[in-house]
A and B are shown apart, each in its own frame.
Chain A
Amino acid sequence: MGSIENLVTQIQGLSGSIDDIAHLHNILKVADESLHAEPSALSSVLDQVDPAKHSLGYLYFLEAFTSGPVSKEQALTLIPILARFINCCDAQQIRFAPDKFVSVCKRFKDHVLLIESPLRGVSPMRAAVRKLQTTSEHLTTLHPDFLLLCLLSKSYNIGLSVLEDDIFDVDQPRDLFLYCYYGGMICIGQKRFRKALELLHNVVTAPMNTINAIAVEAYKKYILVSLIHYGQFSTSLPKYASSAAQRNLKNFCQPYIELATTYSSGKIAEFKIYVDTNREKYDNDKNLGLVKQVVSSMYKHNIQRLTQTYLTLSLQDIANTVQLGSPKEAEMHVLQMIQDGEIFATINQKDGMVRFLEDPEQYKTCQMIEHIDSSIQRIMTLSRKLNAMDELMSYDPLYLSKVLFTQVGRERQRFDFDDFDTVPQKFPI
């Protein structure tokens, strides 16, 4: 008990400047063991320490306090404390002990899921993510948890706001897989299929030594989303996908690949039969909703194909070609597509003719200027990053050894170590 009191006074004293906090951190690391020994005694102490000013100390106490299994009622009481802490803690102090912070947040997420109200966890988790990130391009371990909460509580918009940031630094590869997978699902929920495709593509082509379940699930969704968005799917993975992925992914996703081949034949009736026969498999993977969207997208793609052949077409003809029931249904479909901006057409209701038009975008509005300007800015940052990486690569010893060796090695049998005295030898060459 006495040691805990001691700690409290030290925390209150040493939470001023950066040096003090570093010193405090060392003290806390040493005292961590004793804290974990008596978790229950800490509840009274928590009131004495202010989460905003003494974040580091509070974090240690909290982490020790919440370790161990909790029941539902305990979770209910803990959640407001944790949420308050996350919302008002000081980001600088937290970054001294990131793993403790991560474990506290993960426990918070577990509690929230335990009481089955994920919505309560969304906003604190977003604050946690922003505080843990060193820059907005940094992917932390908390990102996937945050996205999971967004998915479960169906608050897709908040998830989307985090997904808009481009990622350049990743803490752990597993985070990237989960983040992109959940991100893809959120984008599907918001019907932003292009971004979903991008994210799922990242999962599928990420470097992996052995196949993992996340990639398999992501590949299934990838096939379906690619059918919805593009109307076609190619089974060959790009060259940069890992060899493990290229060999094994297809074996796990057989029903989906057959679905894609049936889709490409263009016959809706056959397609629907195929879907019905394999309904349970899709249901087990929880992809049935997506498959239904694929079915409706088939009509859309067929109508879009018509725009490339005809200038005007009657509604009756559209219904016949696309195998819809009646001209009324065709009209509804076309109307919906015009509203979504997928085709440009005018419907003449008097004689039931549809006239297909060109893209009316003239590129002469101010919004277009802003749009292009923001794209240019993004590409400028990307270009700067690429240049920095290129420079970094030029000093890499492995690269230098290979490049210089190929010039030297043809004439000489061995290196002279003296030549390379100034090169830092991180590993034996």
Chain B
Amino acid sequence: MASSSSGLTFKLHPLVILNISDHYTRVKSQLHPPPSAHHCAPAAADPFAPPAPAAADPPRVYGCVIGVQRGRTVEIFNSFELLYDPATHSLDRAFLDKKQELYKKVFPNFYVLGWYSTGSDAEESDMHIHKALMDINESPVYVLLNPSINHAQKDLPVTIYESELHVIDGIPQLIFVRASYTIETVEAERISVDHVAHLKPSDGGTAATQLAAHLTGIHSAIKMLNSRVRVLHHYLLAMQKGEIPCENSLLRQVSSLLRRLPAIESGKFQDDFLMEYNDTLLITYLAMLTNCSSTMNELIDKFNTAYDRHSRRGGRTPFV
């Protein structure tokens, strides 16, 4: 797929991604009910979701994305679901109009910007839907979510396509071209996405498992930070040795990052920080002491059972 040359910048809000994945997960689990009565976390890319029993193709879901277009920036805020009619290969137009009207009442600024679907790649049949939407918006966008989980892939499996008129074999045709996008978050969205991402299974109710899960999360976050810093460090070292040609823009970015640290530097902060650090260490120490005492207790119980000649358990001596 060629990349877009329209020069539009796309900004995607995480709510859209969550909506699409939620829609997909619901439809999939309703179509193929899971073998056990688990409550699935509402993210299709959740590795804990039970595997679908031998199913045919995963179902495709369709919907509409709405947002704002200001000048060259297209910002996609929200989305809603649409019914797809496989016979006519088109979306339910009446429903779309009604929904659009309802949304207009709440969000007067939002326009229908395009549509979304799930799948691994854009297909020819999608072009029908795309053309159908062209009468609402002359150049709709197509947001595609790939629900198959690929652990090797680090980026989000979301692609945004635009349509462009290209001349192929002498015939001008509309084809999909990929467009780059950025994720834009409002503070409220960040908090809610964070909250959703950390939903624990409902039977992990004990304090111990919750604490363990919380600490594991922090541990993995720190590990990732550590590995990224290491990559940067390695890169800078290589640049210093001359193995890689110096790239000044990167160096400027690194130096600006370093100048932002440390975030706070004052006597009072140091004091409070160290005091809290010491408190945590003391609590760890206390926990370890308790742990050791309990092990010691068990050991002594066992020792007394084995070697104490004065106690007679069970009232009988071991026979000869």
Mark out the residues of chain A between 411 and 429 whose CB falls within 8 Å of any chain B CB in the assembled complex: 414-415, 428-429
- Shortest C-beta distance, B159 to chain A (Å), equals 49
- Residues of B within 8 Å of A382, CB to CB, are 292
Contact B298 A403 (CB under 8 A): no
Is A286's CB within 8 Å of the partner chain B? no
A428 to B317, CA, bound (A): 13
- Residues of A within 8 Å of B277, CB to CB, are 369
Residue of A nearest to B306 (CB): A399
Stretch with Cβ within 8 A of A (4 or more), from B184-192, B241-249, B280-288: B280-288
A394 to B292, CA, bound (A): 17
A409 to B317, CA, bound (A): 10
- Residues of A within 8 Å of B295, CB to CB, are 383, 386-387, 390
Contact A366 B296 (CB under 8 A): no
Contact B316 A409 (CB under 8 A): yes
Is B173's CB within 8 Å of the partner chain A? no
Is A3's CB within 8 Å of the partner chain B? no
Given contacts A364-B278, A372-B278, A406-B313, is CB(A398)–CB(B285) below 8 Å? no
Mark out the residues of chain B between 290 and 320 whose CB falls within 8 Å of any chain A CB in the assembled complex: 291-292, 295-296, 298-299, 302-303, 305-307, 313-314, 316, 318-320
- Residues of B within 8 Å of A364, CB to CB, are 270-272, 274-275, 278
Chain A, residues 388-400, CB within 8 Å of chain B (1/0): the string is: 0110011010110
Given contacts A364-B271, A390-B295, A403-B305, is CB(A369)–CB(B281) below 8 Å? yes
Which of A362, A373, A383, A393 has a CB less than 8 Å from the CB of B292? A383
Contact B318 A405 (CB under 8 A): yes
Contact B299 A396 (CB under 8 A): no
- Residues of B within 8 Å of A387, CB to CB, are 295
A294 to B279, CA, bound (A): 37
A398 to B281, CA, bound (A): 40
Given contacts A364-B275, A369-B274, A406-B313, is CB(A379)–CB(B306) below 8 Å? no
Contact A372 B298 (CB under 8 A): no
Contact B319 A415 (CB under 8 A): yes
A368 to B307, CA, bound (A): 42
- Residues of A within 8 Å of B314, CB to CB, are 405-406, 409-410
Contact A376 B313 (CB under 8 A): no
Is B254's CB within 8 Å of the partner chain A? no
Residue of B nearest to A368 (CB): B278
- Residues of B within 8 Å of A402, CB to CB, are 305-306, 313, 318
- Residues of A within 8 Å of B303, CB to CB, are 393, 399
What is the interface residue range for chain B against chain A?
A: 20 to 34
Chain A, residues 334-367, CB within 8 Å of chain B (1/0): the string is: 0000000000000000000000000000111110
- Residues of A within 8 Å of B284, CB to CB, are 376
- Residues of A within 8 Å of B272, CB to CB, are 364
Most chain A CB neighbours (cut-off 10 Å) among B291, B292, B302, B303: B302
Contact B291 A393 (CB under 8 A): no
Contact B289 A393 (CB under 8 A): no
Main secondary structure of the interface of A (DSSP, over half): helix
A272 to B271, CA, bound (A): 49
Contact B296 A386 (CB under 8 A): yes
A403 to B313, CA, bound (A): 9
A275 to B303, CA, bound (A): 44
- Residues of B within 8 Å of A405, CB to CB, are 313-314, 318
Contact A393 B306 (CB under 8 A): yes
- Shortest C-beta distance, A397 to chain B (Å), equals 9
Contact B320 A428 (CB under 8 A): yes
Residue of A nearest to B288 (CB): A379
Contact B274 A393 (CB under 8 A): no
Is A401's CB within 8 Å of the partner chain B? yes
Is A380's CB within 8 Å of the partner chain B? yes
Which of B279, B285, B299 has a CB less than 8 Å from the CB of A386? B299
A415 to B314, CA, bound (A): 14
Given contacts A366-B274, A414-B319, A429-B318, is CB(A398)–CB(B292) below 8 Å? no
Contact B313 A383 (CB under 8 A): no
- Shortest C-beta distance, A232 to chain B (Å), equals 25
- Shortest C-beta distance, A7 to chain B (Å), equals 48
Which of B275, B285, B288, B302 has a CB less than 8 Å from the CB of A363? B275
Is A77's CB within 8 Å of the partner chain B? no
Is A172's CB within 8 Å of the partner chain B? no
Is A375's CB within 8 Å of the partner chain B? yes
A394 to B296, CA, bound (A): 13
A272 to B208, CA, bound (A): 59
A104 to B110, CA, bound (A): 95
Residue of A nearest to B299 (CB): A390
- Residues of A within 8 Å of B299, CB to CB, are 386, 389-390, 393
- Residues of B within 8 Å of A415, CB to CB, are 319
Contact A390 B292 (CB under 8 A): no
Residue of A nearest to B275 (CB): A364
- Residues of A within 8 Å of B318, CB to CB, are 401-402, 405, 429
A405 to B316, CA, bound (A): 9
Contact B302 A376 (CB under 8 A): no
Residue of B nearest to A380 (CB): B288
A393 to B314, CA, bound (A): 21
Which of B278, B281, B302, B320 has a CB less than 8 Å from the CB of A393? B302
Most chain B CB neighbours (cut-off 10 Å) among A402, A414, A428: A402
Residue of A nearest to B307 (CB): A398
- Residues of B within 8 Å of A414, CB to CB, are 319
Mark out the residues of chain B between 223 and 255 whose CB falls within 8 Å of any chain A CB in the assembled complex: none
Given contacts A372-B281, A375-B285, is CB(A383)–CB(B274) below 8 Å? no
Given contacts A389-B299, A405-B318, A409-B316, is CB(A369)–CB(B278) below 8 Å? yes
The 5 A-B pairs with the shortest beta carbon distances in the complex, nearest first, are A399-B306, A364-B274, A364-B275, A398-B306, A406-B314
What are 8 A-B pairs at a CB distance below 8 A?
A: A363-B278, A363-B282, A364-B275, A365-B274, A379-B289, A390-B298, A403-B305, A410-B314
Residues of B near any A CB (own CB < 8 A) = 270-272, 274-275, 277-279, 281-282, 284-285, 288-289, 291-292, 295-296, 298-299, 302-303, 305-307, 313-314, 316, 318-320
**Extra A-B contacts (4), CB below 8 Å, given A362-B271, A363-B275:** A383-B292, A383-B295, A393-B303, A405-B314
